[in-house]
Amino acid sequence: MSALVTLALLFAPLPAQPALGPEAPLLPRAYALCVDGERILAAGSGGLAVFERKSGELVSGQALPGGGVELLCREGRAYVASGPAGISVFSLEGPEAPRLLARWASPGGVAQIADAGGSRLLVADGAFGVRLLEAEESGALRELATLDVGNHVRGVALLPPGGDGPRRALAAAGNAGVFVLELGDEAIELVTRIPTAEAREVAVFPHGQRAVVADGPGGILLLELRGETPAVGLRIAPLGADRVRGVGIHGEYVAVAEGTSGGRILREAGTALVQVAAYPELPGAVSDALVVEEEGSLSALFAMDRLGVHRVKIETPRARATEDRP
């Protein structure tokens, strides 16, 4: 049986679940998501799968040794983090299956990859700290700099460029907190540390003044990044007994993955986060969450480690006002 057929069977759609709308789950054992134009990509225990964004139909896929735990889609390429197996780089050009271009190995355990601007990538490399890589035209990755922060790094995110100073980034490093970093051409410098309970992932709002942290048992943190001393401005308790595992930002909206407690959608309102919707009934442990815009409305994508990807339409305040208009 070919790798593609094996993947197609492994990622076969499941029956729709009640109380979640008409959309069926897209694939079982999904750990990470990204969107590339009209396609949804999902990394899971079998590897990489590509779905048509509107219908959720499986288009193609590639098996990966060790599967995938995180994804970055950028400029027609997919960067798949596979823990100790490192990073696999795929071309997404054309309608055919993703084409493997290169692999980059690291024993640290790659947990997340972020776009650092230009041809550069910032990598959360587990026990090896934070790495700055350059992606070459061929797909090969070349190391530019490494910073060991003394703890296991699980997530990274970039702040928007600002002025003529160095680009800043955030690194989520478990119980060591969130580290604020400055990126040079071939250097990473530690600026300061924000204490947290168990920082697992971090995402930055487009304006760059605030960020949201998935803080495990510590819940959801809203970081204030303005001024000389970044700090926690707000803490929201988890939905249930499980840890907050991941966060994703689209505009003012935040999608939150909370394991067996489900997921929820929050909206930035000044220095606060307001809950838009909660989904504690999701039939699996949610490991990743995204907010995507589809035909003028917003949807949430939840990746679950046992029962695939669920898509739920978000009823935003703006949408409700439009519907209530006579």
Given a contact cutoff of 8 angstroms between Cβ atoms, the answer to whether 15 and 24 are in contact is yes
Percent of the chain with pLDDT over 90: 63
**Between residues 106 and 145, which one has the greater pLDDT?**
145
With a cut of 80, say whether residue 193 has pLDDT above it. yes
pLDDT value of residue 254: 97
Split at pLDDT 50, 70, 90, the class of 293 is confident
Residue 282 falls inside a structural domain: yes
What are the tens digits of pLDDT across the range 263-289?
999 999 999 999 999 999 888 899 999
Residue 207 falls inside a structural domain: yes
Q: What CATH number corresponds to the domain at position 165? A: 2.130.10.10
What are the tens digits of pLDDT across the range 219-235?
999 999 988 789 999 99
With a cut of 60, say whether residue 127 has pLDDT above it. yes
φ/ψ region of 177 (left if φ > 0, alpha if ψ in -120 to 50, else beta) reads left
Total structural domains within the chain: 1
Split at pLDDT 50, 70, 90, the class of 163 is low
Q: Tell me what the pLDDT averaged over the chain comes to.
A: 85
Residue 187 falls inside a structural domain: yes
Q: How far apart are CA 283 and CA 141, in angstroms?
A: 38
| Alpha-carbon distances of 261 from 24, 75, 198, 239, 286, rounded to whole Å | 20, 34, 17, 6, 8
Mean pLDDT of 9-37: 53
pLDDT value of residue 25: 46
| β-pair partners for 267 | 253, 274
Residues 6+ apart with CB under 8 A from 137: none
With a cut of 80, say whether residue 108 has pLDDT above it. yes
Residue 14 falls inside a structural domain: no
pLDDT value of residue 54: 81
pLDDT value of residue 30: 85
Mean pLDDT of 122-127: 95
pLDDT value of residue 27: 53
Split at pLDDT 50, 70, 90, the class of 307 is low
What are the tens digits of pLDDT across the range 59-69?
888 888 778 88
Mean pLDDT of 250-255: 96
Residue 76 falls inside a structural domain: yes
Order of strands across the sheet that contains 253-257: 246-250, 253-257, 263-269, 272-279
Q: What residue type is assigned to position 276 of the chain?
A: V
pLDDT value of residue 275: 95
Mean pLDDT of 91-101: 86
Mean pLDDT of 73-91: 93
pLDDT value of residue 267: 96
- Torsion over CA of 245, 78, 303 and 265, rounded to 10 degrees? 70
Given a contact cutoff of 8 angstroms between Cβ atoms, the answer to whether 89 and 138 are in contact is no
What are the tens digits of pLDDT across the range 27-36?
557 889 999 9
pLDDT value of residue 316: 65
* 16-25 contact pairs (CB < 8 A, 24+): 17/283, 17/307, 17/310, 19/281, 20/279, 20/281, 20/282, 20/310, 20/312, 21/311, 21/312, 21/313, 23/56, 23/310, 23/311, 23/312, 24/56, 25/304, 25/307, 25/308, 25/309, 25/310
Q: What residue type is assigned to position 218 of the chain?
A: G
% helix, strand, coil for the chain, step of 5: 5, 50, 45
Given a contact cutoff of 8 angstroms between Cβ atoms, the answer to whether 316 and 300 are in contact is no
pLDDT value of residue 315: 78
Q: Which domain holds residue 260?
A: 63-324
The two tokens of residue 207 are: 């304006």
Residues 6+ apart with CB under 8 A from 216: 174, 197, 198, 199, 200, 243, 244, 245
With a cut of 70, say whether residue 121 has pLDDT above it. yes
Which residue, chain included where needed, has tokens 């650092």? 116
Q: How far apart are CA 140 and CA 177, in angstroms?
A: 31
Residue 12 falls inside a structural domain: no
pLDDT value of residue 28: 58
With a cut of 70, say whether residue 6 has pLDDT above it. no
Residue 34 falls inside a structural domain: no
**Between residues 10 and 49, which one has the greater pLDDT?**
49
**Between residues 325 and 272, which one has the greater pLDDT?**
272
Residue 17 falls inside a structural domain: no
Mean pLDDT of 156-161: 95
Buried b (16+ CB within 10 A) or exposed e, 208-242: ebbbbbbbbebbbbbbbbeeeebebeeebebbeeb
pLDDT value of residue 317: 59
Given a contact cutoff of 8 angstroms between Cβ atoms, the answer to whether 144 and 186 are in contact is yes
Order of strands across the sheet that contains 70-74: 70-74, 77-81, 87-91, 99-104
Q: In 3-state terms, what secondary structure has residue 320?
A: helix
With a cut of 60, say whether residue 8 has pLDDT above it. no
Q: How far apart are CA 113 and CA 123, in angstroms?
A: 5
What are the tens digits of pLDDT across the range 168-186?
999 999 999 999 999 999 9
